[in-house]
Structure 1
Amino acid sequence: MQSPHQILGPSRRALLLGAGAAALTGAVSTTTAAASGVVPAAAAIPSPDDLPLTGGPEFPIGLFWPPHPYASTPERFAEIKAAGFDFVISGNYAGDGNIFQYQLGLARTAGLQMLISDDIQIRNMSRWFSISDNPADFLSVTPDEARALYVRARDAYGPYSSLAGFNLYDEPGAGWFGTLAKAVAVSRELAPALLPYINLFPSDDPAYYRSFVDVVKPSLISFDRYPLLSEGREDGNYFHNWAIVRDAALHGDIPSWVFIQTLSYNNHREPTAAELLWQVNISLAYGAKGIQYFTYWTPEAARGEGFGPALITVDGRRTPRYAASRTINTTWLHQVGRELKPLVSESVVHANETPLPNGTVGFTPTDLISGVSGSPVVVGTLRSRDGSADRWVLVANRSHSAEARTTLTPRLSGVSAVGVFDPRTQTYRARGTGPVPLMLAPGAATLLKLEAR
């Protein structure tokens, strides 16, 4: 799919560094001496805890396809913040350095962060050209040139506290991982406090994601797969893709992020409020540490994929999905996300579902849970990093159209107390250790804490 977050750049850059300088006229430091030298073979890898968005207690909620330059106003960015979003991935025809700086200023005022998709500087070193020491390599920049490009972007946008990092590449093929590893190393050397962001294709090939983790050494793994198809169908490999990404994230000990579908387009339907919530909660059950909305502003018809209204229409009107996302983000996702963000996904199982979707695992009793009966649910179990035997269990309704009535039965020999998370107070309500009946609205979920004996 050729989506709007596969932003089309210029066909070829005849004057690479000169064009970059022109795009940031009046905005870039002229000091590029720091860009001399070569890309290190192995740059230090910051902990996700030390980077914007992946670090800190807040669960990151982002969006792609923000207001276009003419609609980039203080009121529009405040509208984004009011809906519970934390960060914006630039796009929607914002490609000029002065526009980026203006939007970064708006984001700073609104309390948002931004990942900048800079086609002239950053993507010349990470997408349009490869990084190579061999002058014979076609369409390549040298490590020195790559560093010079990065420094220009860093110096132009770095003074803005709202800069979270740079969007290096959207949906790269595996053949690009070598250059992306070099680009990430450049980022870490020259701006270790900024996030080098890359989003991956949907894929059913585990080697694609595992290779990305092993070769690129990313700070997180993000992917997009939009499961709500036309005529009420679901993508049959949605859970399979999530299971593969979860495995790769655990392999690299890095956070996993995902995009959720907010609009209709070719062969995909317009989500209901429950279907937005369902995508969020299924992702949380599979261990997601960041949620991104695709899209926020509606892409215009000229993009050619039949995009329907997203959260905001092409002409700037709010749709029902804006209100739905605001409710999800501000009354549930931020609250439950704070609980889940520091935890490690231990298992994901589907209970009471026959046949099981491709790539999923059915429920079997554990030391802490003896049974899950009733309606089909997805059960994600998480643990803390401190070695505690306690477990957190997110029970998500498998259905986005019907209420689930499910009973989770703790194992009395293993569980001393059960707490039910209340997002309004951000506390756990104590209840007995007997069977826990759950009534889940379409797409909804409940978080339980099982204290081990």
Structure 2
Amino acid sequence: MQSPHQILGPSRRTLLLGAGATAVAATAAASTSAGTASATSTGTASAASAASAGGAAASGASAGAAPAAVPSPDTLPLTGGPEFPIGLFWPPHPYASTAARFAEIKNAGFDFVISGNYAGDGNIFQYQLGLARDAGLKMLISDDIQIRNMSRWFSISDTPTDFLSVTPAEAQALYIRARDAYGPYSSLAGFNFYDEPGAGWFATLAKALAISRDLAPQLLPYVNLLPSDDPTYYRNFVDVVKPSLISFDRYPLLSEGREDANYFHNWAIVRDAALYGDVPAWVFIQTLAYNNHREPTPAELLWQINISLAYGAKGIQYFTYWTPEAARGEGFGPALITVDGQRTSRYYAAQQINTNWLHPVGRELKPLVSETVEHANETPLPNGAVGFTPTPLVSGVSGDAVVVGTFRSRDAASGDRWLLVANRSHSARAKAVVAVNPQTVGSVGVFQPGRQTYVPQRVGPVQVPLAPGAATLLKLTAK
């Protein structure tokens, strides 16, 4: 779909390194100590600073240098650490970017913001980074002049005569400008390199991410992929780009109460690619109505999240937070915040979900490895879904239709398993019974998010009552 995060950009190479670029001055930002940069210190990069930034000797980068090693996701902002990342796209527009608005985001249980909603100027980015820092949020910056010029508007080529391309040295200079301008802010998590690239762009993204890792290995290079039913698209992304995560968007709640018939199929493909690349899988969830898509209920917000968790999601992003205005087309309805800044019922639903469920259960699931995801008691199975198969620990799942994600520890020697049992329905209550094998399971715990602990249960059939869209996490300790 054509979304607010598909913004048309410049088409001429002459816009790249000119004095009129909206980049903030690297020299001004570099002179400000990390984490304490003034929200108003900004300017235009001078020709002298651009030349300095492009110097391979000064930056430690070289166009002919070997590619930097791919950092483990465990070492990067958002993908690393114990906290499950919850983000949003289409934040408050520049005139609504205030300390109160960013505190409102934090109070709803969000951890990071992907810039957008007409924030495209270096002054605005620095101002928002300061607001995010003060609110305890992280930001992924969508810098159209520096980062997008090396990753989206132009390809990276060693041949200077290639049409609409930049050389590796020019790409490095562009990245250094952005890094030095925004890097002093502790709220900078990384850069948004490209939204929904076609496969033909993967080679340039590979070069762009390699430059990012060479010049700022501590920052997350972020790319969000198209929805697709083609496994090759995601596998090639892993093989060629070598990403730090796989993020995608597919919005399953269609008009007239329908579901996207290939939603589970797309999730299964992404899950497979993420396991193949040993990287986290992130997804966007739908918060609003737009062309041929309905407005989600609170239960449908929760359902999207829990289905995604069952399929192995390690990060959840909301599309959108602020409502895109009517002039953008596509018939966007109210999101979490309306066009004129009013909270909707979905803001309060997201606040409750993020704070009381997603953050606590996410801490449990984030370090685990998705082993299987199966649909129990559902006939016919949706496209791409796999039916439940008994295991030595669980002999069966009976009752209403549920989606069961099974997870294991990264310690291969551990026989313990975690089961996220998610209601297949977003409109009706469900009750499932998980038949635990007492011959192989030593103890059963039911996760209580409010206490961040597991309550012991009798080893045997476990009753799992579920509200619409809800899920329960079980821990099975092997004998």
In the other structure, the counterpart of 1:190 is: 215
Distance 1:413 1:23 in 2: 64
In the other structure, the counterpart of 1:16 is: 16
Helix, strand or coil at the partner of 1:185: helix
User: Which of 457, 463, 470 is residue 431 of structure 1 equivalent to?
Assistant: 457
Q: Is this contact kept in 2: 1:350–1:361, CA < 8 A?
A: yes
Q: Is this contact kept in 1: 2:280–2:313, CA < 8 A?
A: yes
TM-score normalised per structure 2:
0.93
Q: For 1:29-178, list aligned pairs within 5 A.
A: 30=49, 31-32=52-53, 33=55, 34-35=58-59, 37-38=62-63, 40-178=65-203
Q: For 1:194-343, list aligned pairs within 5 A.
A: 194-343=219-368
Name the CA shift for 1:295/1:346 in 2 (closer, same or farther; >3 Å): same
User: Which of 416, 421, 441 is residue 395 of structure 1 equivalent to?
Assistant: 421
Q: What amino acid sits opposite 1:109 in the alignment? A: D
Distance 2:403 2:64 in 1: 44
Q: What amino acid sits opposite 1:390 in the alignment? A: D
1:440 matched to 2:466? The reply is: yes
Name the CA shift for 1:278/1:348 in 2 (closer, same or farther; >3 Å): same
Q: Is this contact kept in 1: 2:324–2:339, CA < 8 A?
A: yes
1:404 matched to 2:404? The reply is: no
- Tell which deviates more after alignment, 213-222 or 38-47: 38-47
Deviations 1:289-320 (A, max 9, x none): 00000000000001111000000000000000
- Tell which deviates more after alignment, 20-29 or 417-426: 20-29
Deviations 1:124-166 (A, max 9, x none): 0000000001122110000000000000000000000000000
Deviations 1:29-76 (A, max 9, x none): 924133563064432110111000000000000000000000000000
Name the CA shift for 1:19/1:180 in 2 (closer, same or farther; >3 Å): farther
Name the CA shift for 1:412/1:293 in 2 (closer, same or farther; >3 Å): same
In the other structure, the counterpart of 1:449 is: 475
* Identity rate, percent: 80
Q: Is this contact kept in 1: 2:23–2:177, CA < 8 A?
A: no
Name the CA shift for 1:243/1:22 in 2 (closer, same or farther; >3 Å): closer
- Tell which deviates more after alignment, 53-62 or 4-13: 4-13
Q: What amino acid sits opposite 1:80 in the alignment? A: I
In the other structure, the counterpart of 2:448 is: 422
Distance 2:92 2:298 in 1: 22
- Tell which deviates more after alignment, 9-18 or 180-189: 9-18
Distance 2:211 2:18 in 1: 20
Distance 1:260 1:399 in 2: 16
In the other structure, the counterpart of 2:388 is: 363
Instruction: Supply the RMSD in Å over aligned alpha carbons.
Output: 1.2
Distance 2:64 2:252 in 1: 39
In the other structure, the counterpart of 1:3 is: 3
Helix, strand or coil at the partner of 1:106: helix
In the other structure, the counterpart of 2:36 is: none
Helix, strand or coil at the partner of 1:196: strand
Q: Is this contact kept in 2: 1:278–1:397, CA < 8 A?
A: yes
TM-score normalised per structure 1:
0.98
Name the CA shift for 1:376/1:42 in 2 (closer, same or farther; >3 Å): same
In the other structure, the counterpart of 2:31 is: none
Name the CA shift for 1:6/1:15 in 2 (closer, same or farther; >3 Å): closer
Distance 2:19 2:323 in 1: 30
Helix, strand or coil at the partner of 2:373: strand
Q: What amino acid sits opposite 1:446 in the alignment? A: T
Distance 1:149 1:20 in 2: 14
Name the CA shift for 1:395/1:179 in 2 (closer, same or farther; >3 Å): same
Distance 1:169 1:396 in 2: 32
- Structure 2 unaligned spans of 5+: 26-41
Helix, strand or coil at the partner of 2:350: helix
Deviations 1:341-364 (A, max 9, x none): 000000000000000000010001
Deviations 1:173-196 (A, max 9, x none): 000000000000000000000000
Distance 1:13 1:3 in 2: 25
- Structure 1 unaligned spans of 5+: none
Q: How many residues align?
A: 453
